[in-house]
Structure 1
């Protein structure tokens, strides 16, 4: 069967699945509005598709694309009612590189079940190590729960990584403390430039903190040298003199669109070829033999050089 590619030789090998569009945090880069709207982010546990429906869609995509990686996101994926069953189902499809991105609030409780089901790696979103800054970013006083979740996963031998969105004037003071926390625990940490998504589509510049600024801050305590970038990687990596490695996702400073291999599936059975697209492509009723046209349409959504932003919320598409 002919591989689906575009003029940049890009194809889909990584599938990111947004399991639901609710979350138990209300982070400032994802949620905007009054207290009522923030509570709406937290209160529901809406999942539009049942586990068997999701598995059928993932199986259909895997059969055509021979996926290398599946990453489960949200919203907050640990709110998904049948998460361990879903993970087992995906592994039964022959996909062994199965990852998850979470805010960590429920990780302490769920880590054993996730390990047993077959999760191989967990990325924890942690934007501050100071309790007050954590509250400023997430609008909840739950830092200790997230840290306990990280510790629980590490004790079980699950690979844990940390993602930290950096926003100027809000949490850029946390870069060095977060590095120290990660290095002391042998955790790979990545700092993310803020993306022009959702309510920040037209205002992200106000809090933008560039890769250059992040590196300058790090260099004061941890001089480092760059490592070669791997194809389709979203991150640039550096290594300190002590051998510690950290990354930066510089979607604005050094775009990685030209070799992106990611396909996104939302909680309603729609696929997206790029975060910059607001146009969902439903595959719920698409027969396997007709899937190619939908995948080519998704591939055409990819940007040639640089991510242009989208009004689509990270809550819906999972980053």
Structure 2
């Protein structure tokens, strides 16, 4: 299918970026996402590699250039290298990224890179081992940091995600800023988002990124232009730092105006927004292997995408927790 049949919604937003969840299972117990650990409360008949090949081909034919593999925790799938490879070998796909908690990073990153992975987002909410353990339920920070070094040595572009949380914010900022002096990664501070399961936690722990942005600008950091396949972060650089800083502020004005990504769940449902009321089932056409019919369905369904996620009005849609779609 030709480029002029690209995925463009009624607000003129063009979608070149697919976030593909391959499992909703996660082995961490992050306080802001799965404080009680993973609960199997739905079917686990996840998309198979053949299904994923059909889906990614359909998106690529509609102008998608970047695929991000997410979970839950994607490394819990034994066929992850195969999935990375089939995404990387799909004509039209230029970037294959993945978001991970890093639990298997040191053991597996070389395999992922050989399979075609080009970008890695790594969740590290604190550089203090005790705080990291308190937030995630895992005492694995040092192994994850060692895996990060291996990823950089392999030439992967690495971004580190840290959720802004009130109890840890002051120490979190100080240690991360010192770390970025010599660490060539982009550190992205992400505002805590309200979901169906964390409303009381959100009330007590949400922290706006706007004061951090103001502080960065006052300290000589310069905001960078976004690439058309980039995520929603506002990114900043400083000549005295090897690393960069990104801010993801979903409660900021006009956050949704630059939306360029669509999400598909591990069960084959299209989510027009992380906080959509429901997923739209693509599985029948995916399993038929009918790429052209699937492309037509995607273009038809895109007509239902809203202008905003309405998070600022307390709306969370069907998103009970972020592990459902990998954020």
Question: Does TM, scored on the shorter chain, surpass 0.5?
Answer: yes
Deviation at 1:250, TM superposition (A): 1.0
**Structure 2 gaps, min length 5:** none
Q: Distance in 2 between matches of 1:8 and 1:170?
A: 38
**Structure 1 gaps, min length 5:** none
After superposition, the Cα gap between the structure-2 partners of 1:7 and 1:214, relative to the gap in structure 1 and judged at 3 Å, is same
Kept in 2, the 8 Å contact 1:255–1:306? The answer is no
Kept in 2, the 8 Å contact 1:136–1:170? The answer is no
User: Which of 53, 56, 59 is the matching residue for 2:54?
Assistant: 56
After superposition, the Cα gap between the structure-2 partners of 1:247 and 1:254, relative to the gap in structure 1 and judged at 3 Å, is farther
1:143 aligns with 2:133: no
Deviation at 1:122, TM superposition (A): 0.4
Q: What TM-score do you get using the length of structure 1 for normalisation?
A: 0.87
Per-residue deviation, residues 249-308 of structure 1 (Å, max 9, x unmatched):
111124421120111011111111101103111111124326434443245233337544
User: Map of 1:257-268 to 2, 5 A cutoff?
Assistant: 257-268=256-267
Deviation at 1:48, TM superposition (A): 1.5
Tell me what 1:114 maps to. Answer: 112
Tell me what 2:75 maps to. Answer: 78
Q: Distance in 1 between matches of 2:247 and 2:18?
A: 21
Q: Distance in 2 between matches of 1:277 and 1:263?
A: 11
User: Which of 97, 100, 104 is the matching residue for 1:99?
Assistant: 97
- Which stretch shifts more, 227-236 or 65-74? 227-236
User: Map of 1:170-181 to 2, 5 A cutoff?
Assistant: 170-181=168-179
Per-residue deviation, residues 9-54 of structure 1 (Å, max 9, x unmatched):
013210001110111211111114xxxx42648xxxx561221222
Tell me what 2:252 maps to. Answer: 253
Pairs aligned (count): 309
Q: Distance in 2 between matches of 1:91 and 1:230?
A: 20
Q: Distance in 2 between matches of 1:210 and 1:7?
A: 30
After superposition, the Cα gap between the structure-2 partners of 1:263 and 1:119, relative to the gap in structure 1 and judged at 3 Å, is same
Tell me what 2:63 maps to. Answer: 66
Q: Distance in 2 between matches of 1:40 and 1:72?
A: 21
Deviation at 1:247, TM superposition (A): 1.1
Per-residue deviation, residues 212-265 of structure 1 (Å, max 9, x unmatched):
233466689x54243345566411122235155211011112442112011101
Q: Distance in 1 between matches of 2:199 and 2:317?
A: 6
Deviation at 1:60, TM superposition (A): 2.4
Q: Distance in 1 between matches of 2:77 and 2:323?
A: 14
Kept in 1, the 8 Å contact 2:273–2:309? The answer is no
Deviation at 1:139, TM superposition (A): 1.3
User: Which of 290, 293, 296 is the matching residue for 1:292?
Assistant: 296
After superposition, the Cα gap between the structure-2 partners of 1:114 and 1:129, relative to the gap in structure 1 and judged at 3 Å, is same
For residue 10 of structure 1, give the secondary structure of its aligned residue in structure 2. coil
Tell me what 1:227 maps to. Answer: 224
- Which stretch shifts more, 129-138 or 299-308? 299-308
Kept in 2, the 8 Å contact 1:227–1:237? The answer is yes
Kept in 1, the 8 Å contact 2:223–2:235? The answer is yes
After superposition, the Cα gap between the structure-2 partners of 1:223 and 1:86, relative to the gap in structure 1 and judged at 3 Å, is same
Per-residue deviation, residues 65-90 of structure 1 (Å, max 9, x unmatched):
12110000101111111111111111
Kept in 1, the 8 Å contact 2:19–2:69? The answer is yes
Q: Distance in 2 between matches of 1:182 and 1:274?
A: 32
After superposition, the Cα gap between the structure-2 partners of 1:11 and 1:296, relative to the gap in structure 1 and judged at 3 Å, is farther
Q: Distance in 2 between matches of 1:281 and 1:105?
A: 31
Tell me what 1:204 maps to. Answer: 202
Tell me what 1:314 maps to. Answer: 322
